[in-house]
Amino acid sequence: MANCTKSIVSREREVNMFAELSHGHFVLCENLREQRSGHQYESMSCLIVAAFKFEAFLNDIGSRLLPYWDEIDRISHRNKLAVIAKQIDFPVDYSKRPFQTLIALFDARNELAHARPQSLVQTAKEESGTPEELRRRKPLTKWESLCTLSFAEQAYTDTEQIADKLWVAAGYNINELRSRGMSYSMSSIPSSRGKQA
């Protein structure tokens, strides 16, 4: 048995949700590359985590830049980005990557977050493949069409790139963006052995 001592331990942790979700997104992409059975659910998870990660980033940088951030916290991600970009005089162009990716990402996120039944119809078109391949093809929702390794990696790269650029443009140290620190202190409690009552 290991030598155990009683100690008084104090711990502190600043939870950086962007860093946590960024790491989670990276891990999901790594797992998705293996294309194991059920990998489409890892793709779906990538969509969700990418959107949550970006929203966490906006809330982090927004609360640092604007003392009234809590008052506007409920606005859309797009409006949050606009407020932040205006504050630091940063151009946002949704017509090209990396910002263009946010449109598809948040459309998919919203479809998943506010899920409703859908009836999908695919018009007849000439296709080739084995009878089994043809049988397995089905009409896809917008979010299902984005459940690919390619889009998961694109969403990871583009959201990370936007975060990096905005963070630096705001004048913050890039090394602090993904910090996941924790500190603790420990002191031993003196043993009562050998003391006489």
pLDDT at 27 over 50: yes
In a domain, 84, yes or no: yes
In a domain, 102, yes or no: yes
Render pLDDT for 165-190 as a digit per residue (tens, 0 to 9): 999 999 999 988 888 655 555 566 66
Using omega within 30 degrees of 0 as the cis cutoff, is the peptide bond preceding 98 cis? yes
In a domain, 137, yes or no: no
In a domain, 138, yes or no: no
- With a CB cutoff of 8 Å and minimum separation 6, the contacts of 164 are 174, 177
- How far is Cα of residue 27 from the mean position of the Cα atoms in its chain? 11
Q: Cα separation of 163 and 61, whole Å?
A: 9
Instruction: Name the band, by pLDDT with cuts 50, 70 and 90, for residue 144.
Output: confident
Predicted local distance difference test score (pLDDT) of residue 197: 45
The tally of domains found in the chain comes to: 1
- With a CB cutoff of 8 Å and minimum separation 6, the contacts of 69 are 59, 62, 63
In a domain, 57, yes or no: yes
In a domain, 99, yes or no: yes
Render pLDDT for 29-50 as a digit per residue (tens, 0 to 9): 999 999 888 888 899 999 999 9
In a domain, 90, yes or no: yes
Predicted local distance difference test score (pLDDT) of residue 188: 62
Q: Cα separation of 100 and 81, whole Å?
A: 13
Helices (H), 39-173: 39-65, 69-72, 77-87, 99-113, 131-136, 142-145, 149-169
pTM for the full predicted model: 0.79
Quickly tell me which residue has 């084995």 as its tokens. Answer: 130
Domain that holds residue 69: 13-115+145-176
In a domain, 157, yes or no: yes
